[in-house]
Structure 1
Amino acid sequence: MSIFVLIPGAWLDGEVWQQVATDLERRGHRVLPVTLGTAPTDGLTEHTRQVGEVLAAADEPVVLVGHSYGSFPMLGAADRWPDRVARTVLIDAPLPEDGEALVDLLPCEQRATVTGELVPYPAVPWMSGGELPAGTSERLAERTPHWPARCMTEPIALTGAVKELPMTGVFCTLSGADLAVARGLHASGAPRFAWLANRANRYYELASGHLPMVTMPERLAEVLAGAARGEGEPLL
């Protein structure tokens, strides 16, 4: 049995994990979905603190899962409290370095939307990958219509401790990333990608867009259960 802490991406709440959580619990695991704060004053530091509170309440090291933006507070918390984390899992997520903010890693057209205190739910295809069931985007936008810009502009603080933890990367291939891309990044020799080949790291590919917890929750739960066991494909 593993404890999974599930951190959603921007404009999402803990409810988005409901079907995944149900399937993991049916497999005998314990699941703690996180809903991050959405007040204008909530930044990455606050979100990282919220994740840290969940880690502190768990009675054993957890499998810490971050989707999309959720990788920022996930990596920040794992770096700060590595003894509370058994493995990190990144789902269709960026890989920030110390001092980088999410806005630094966004394409120009997305970066331009990060203005003011609250950023509206995006009505653009990159959010879904183009294959969400009808009405899903509308329901998600009703639950979380805005997201605090501060968490997108506040830089992450990393010491490097998180890179010593076992990591599983889950690529959503309809979003444009896959294992071949990761291998190419590692082969480039850039220092920021060297840790992708750590011996304990493993990878999965899902034929999904950006929200696999919505489009294929049972398969994602299967992948997360496998990640907890250290399964998956190595980089090299």
Structure 2
Amino acid sequence: MSMFILVSGPFTDGRVWNEVVGRLRESGAEAHPVTLSSRPEADLETHIEDVVRLVDSLESPGELVLVGHDYAIHPVLGAADRRPERVGRIVHLDAGMPQDGDAALALVPDPSVHELLRAEGGPGPVPSPGPAQWQRWGSTEGLSVRQLELLSRLAAPQPPRTLTQPLRLAGTAASVPSSGILCTAGGMTVELVEALVRTGPPQFRKLADPRVGFFELATGHWPMVSCPDELAEVLLRAAAGEGRRLTVPEGESPFLGSFLFDTPERPRVRNGRLDLHMPKPDPGGAQGPRPAVLFVHGGPVPPHHEPAPRDSPLYLGYARYAASLGVVGAVVEHRLHGIADYAQSADDVAEAVELLRADPRVDARRIALWVFSGAGLLTADWIAAPPPWLRCLALSYPILAPLPGWGAVGSRFRPVDALRAGGGTLPPLVLTRAGLETPRIAATVEEFTAAAEETKALLEIIDVPHGCHGFEIHEPTDESREAVTRAVRTVLAHLEQPS
């Protein structure tokens, strides 16, 4: 017999699970909904203790299934970390993958909440949503007007420190099996998760563990209200260890594998977050300042990951390839560790640009920026106010609008909006587009190319029809080699144009 502990997201309490609890109990399972403390002084630690107390109070012949919806995955993981011997499975119900040190605020989609919690004099409780405001916290598809009104009547303000206090994990529950239930109306699908596992940040690769199973529900963010029957059925299947498993071939990561060219190592100069890979001197011995390409790695990438992005095969490969063709190949290691870090990351890139331009071996008037994947959002700054020395802006399989669940990304980082606003004379754009891109990412690229056409931006597209996200570190093909060669030589040609 399964025994479920059900913990819901912000503003809601145990009553939101009423219909699901009934279905689970009818099936013979035990179900215990949790009402987390709503005292203004409560913090994440308070909520972890709420769950731990319930775990300790239950006498069960088997192991518990802890279900965390939205924010509640934080206290659920905290409780599992303290009582791993009691927990048989952790279920992420339309929830993220917080790590040790993460605060729940990073995944809050409503930007007004971020402003509220940064208010002078200290933040107060986050007001509970009215019926028309729930959509700021997730997709409301499947909810009737009556159900939205009911949610608001049952809601309570969210204590601010529950969102800002970092989650602390000792790692004792790392081996507990887990399940992910994705509510697809919000945009997240198993297909997108699989793409992130295959070519995204390294922390996603743990989702390919055989102990992890996935389910989809074709509804919005509150399935316990919009489809309680379906949710109860999926929870029972998750408890039984069912679910779709993800597989990832070895080496399919920009931080692993091999670059598609065998690029010779060049002298590397490290200056803080910036690495410069230097070209060979001219045959006659003269060595004037050279143009430079600054490669900006994708992300988010967790801090202290090994290998670091600038030491990974993908970015080493590009920088060395550029250096072999006579320009300085530079790589910046910026601090895009989570989706709330884009402003910090933008500062790191701007600082690296200034260091690069100040280097006497670099021609400060001829610089290209080349961004990858999740760093695509950083291009908004350079599109909004393009400096005269920026000769080219290159983008490889970029993410050009925040993905589902990326509500913590500030409005500043919207490349399409910046393109349409037109802040100056835009440099040429070189876009490498993967034909097998994940649909959600591909849609952001399509929107960007449409805006470029509307604004008559100089955009050259290099298509890789059989390439997927991060195709350069997969098994090389003539198509992929040709695409990279063309992209690099196109960028270098723009650098050689006279002022």
TM-score range, shorter chain: over 0.9
Residue identity in the other structure for 1:118: P
Aligned ranges for residues 54-65 of structure 1 at < 5 Å? 54-60=54-60, 61-65=63-67
- Residue 14 of structure 1: aligned partner: 14
Alignment match of 1:125 (pick from 129, 132, 135): 135
Alignment match of 1:112 (pick from 92, 110, 115): 115
Q: Name the SS for the 2:126 alignment partner.
A: strand
Give the drift of 1:204: 0.1
- Residue 83 of structure 1: aligned partner: 85
CA distance in 1, matches of 2:110, 2:19: 33
- Residue 98 of structure 1: aligned partner: 100
CA distance in 1, matches of 2:145, 2:103: 32
User: Aligned pair in 2 of structure 1 residues 202, 147: CA closer, same or farther (>3 Å)?
Assistant: same
Q: Whose Rg is larger?
A: 2
Report which stretch shifted further, 193-202 or 182-191. Answer: 182-191
Give the drift of 1:136: 2.1
Residue identity in the other structure for 2:157: H
Q: Residue by residue, what CA displacement relative to the aligned partner does 1:183-220 show, whole Å, maximum 9, x if unpaired?
A: 12212353322221111110000001000000000000
CA distance in 2, matches of 1:136, 1:49: 30
CA distance in 2, matches of 1:158, 1:210: 26
Give the drift of 1:94: 1.4
CA distance in 2, matches of 1:171, 1:210: 9
State the identity %. 38
Aligned ranges for residues 60-209 of structure 1 at < 5 Å? 60=60, 61-107=63-109, 109=111, 110-114=113-117, 116-122=123-129, 123-127=133-137, 129-131=139-141, 132-188=143-199, 190-209=201-220
Q: Residue by residue, what CA displacement relative to the aligned partner does 1:16-39 show, whole Å, maximum 9, x if unpaired?
A: 001000000000001110000011
Give the drift of 1:105: 2.9
CA distance in 2, matches of 1:108, 1:124: 10
User: Aligned pair in 2 of structure 1 residues 146, 54: CA closer, same or farther (>3 Å)?
Assistant: same
Q: Name the SS for the 2:158 alignment partner.
A: strand
Q: Name the SS for the 1:196 alignment partner.
A: helix
Residue identity in the other structure for 1:68: D
Q: Any unmatched runs of 5+ in structure 1?
A: none
| RMSD between superposed Cα atoms in Å | 1.5
Residue identity in the other structure for 2:66: L
User: Aligned pair in 2 of structure 1 residues 217, 113: CA closer, same or farther (>3 Å)?
Assistant: farther
Contact 1:101 1:152 in 2 (8 A): yes
Residue identity in the other structure for 1:64: L
CA distance in 2, matches of 1:179, 1:20: 23
Residue identity in the other structure for 2:234: V
User: Aligned pair in 2 of structure 1 residues 155, 204: CA closer, same or farther (>3 Å)?
Assistant: same
- Residue 29 of structure 1: aligned partner: 29
CA distance in 2, matches of 1:19, 1:124: 20
Contact 1:63 1:88 in 2 (8 A): yes
Give yes or no for the alignment of 1:45 onto 2:56.
Answer: no
Q: Any unmatched runs of 5+ in structure 2?
A: 248-499
Contact 2:124 2:159 in 1 (8 A): yes
Residue identity in the other structure for 1:112: E
Give the drift of 1:153: 0.3
Q: Name the SS for the 2:173 alignment partner.
A: helix
Contact 1:163 1:195 in 2 (8 A): no
Residue identity in the other structure for 2:115: A
Give the drift of 1:128: 5.2
CA distance in 1, matches of 2:231, 2:200: 31
Give the drift of 1:124: 4.4
- Residue 229 of structure 1: aligned partner: 240
Tell me the number of residue pairs that the alignment of Structure 1 and Structure 2 aligns.
Answer: 236
User: Aligned pair in 2 of structure 1 residues 130, 107: CA closer, same or farther (>3 Å)?
Assistant: closer
Residue identity in the other structure for 1:90: H
CA distance in 1, matches of 2:169, 2:194: 23
**Bigger RCO of structures 1 and 2 (CA < 8 A, at least 6 apart):** 1
Residue identity in the other structure for 2:218: A
- Residue 215 of structure 1: aligned partner: 226
Q: Name the SS for the 1:148 alignment partner.
A: coil
User: Aligned pair in 2 of structure 1 residues 189, 129: CA closer, same or farther (>3 Å)?
Assistant: closer
CA distance in 2, matches of 1:215, 1:189: 31
The TM-score normalised by the length of structure 2 is 0.46
CA distance in 2, matches of 1:138, 1:113: 24
